[in-house]
């Protein structure tokens, strides 16, 4: 599935988009784009307002952090990983495998 980020995304920024009926978090980690589920696996809470720190996203509800490279939870209370999606970039256009 293809999409564009009309306003771009600078390093250290995140955005959430809806594709194929799913909420997807897109993060620019040091110039590399990563995609994951946008919902925390602990309380099904949106990560769209979470804090990106390096390659991890922190849930604004209970503070669980997830590694955006692997999906692995880094802090409790979350114990289940995030769904990670393969993302390919071609200029301003991206392709994601849902």
Given a contact cutoff of 8 angstroms between Cβ atoms, the answer to whether 64 and 73 are in contact is yes
- Give the global pTM: 0.93
pLDDT tens across 18-60, in order?
A: 999 999 999 999 999 999 999 999 998 999 999 999 999 999 9
The token duo for 63 is 């503070």
User: How confident is the model over 73-98, as a mean pLDDT?
Assistant: 94
Domains and CATH numbers, the chain: 16-88 (2.102.10.10)
Please tell me the predicted confidence (pLDDT) of residue 92: 82
d(CA 46, CA 8): 21
User: How confident is the model over 61-70, as a mean pLDDT?
Assistant: 96
- Cβ-Cβ contacts under 8 Å for 70 (sequence gap 6 or more): 81, 84
Please tell me the predicted confidence (pLDDT) of residue 40: 97
Please tell me the predicted confidence (pLDDT) of residue 53: 96
């Amino acid at each position: 599935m293809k999409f564009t980020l009309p306003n771009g995304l600078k390093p250290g920024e995140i955005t959430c988009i809806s594709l194929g009926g799913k909420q997807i978090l897109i993060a620019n980690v040091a110039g590399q784009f990563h995609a994951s589920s946008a919902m925390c696996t602990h309380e099904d809470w949106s990560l769209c307002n979470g804090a990106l720190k390096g390659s991890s996203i922190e849930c604004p509800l209970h503070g669980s952090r997830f590694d955006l490279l692997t999906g692995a939870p880094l802090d409790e209370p979350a114990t289940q990983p995030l769904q990670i999606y393969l993302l390919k970039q071609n200029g301003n256009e991206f392709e994601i495998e849902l």
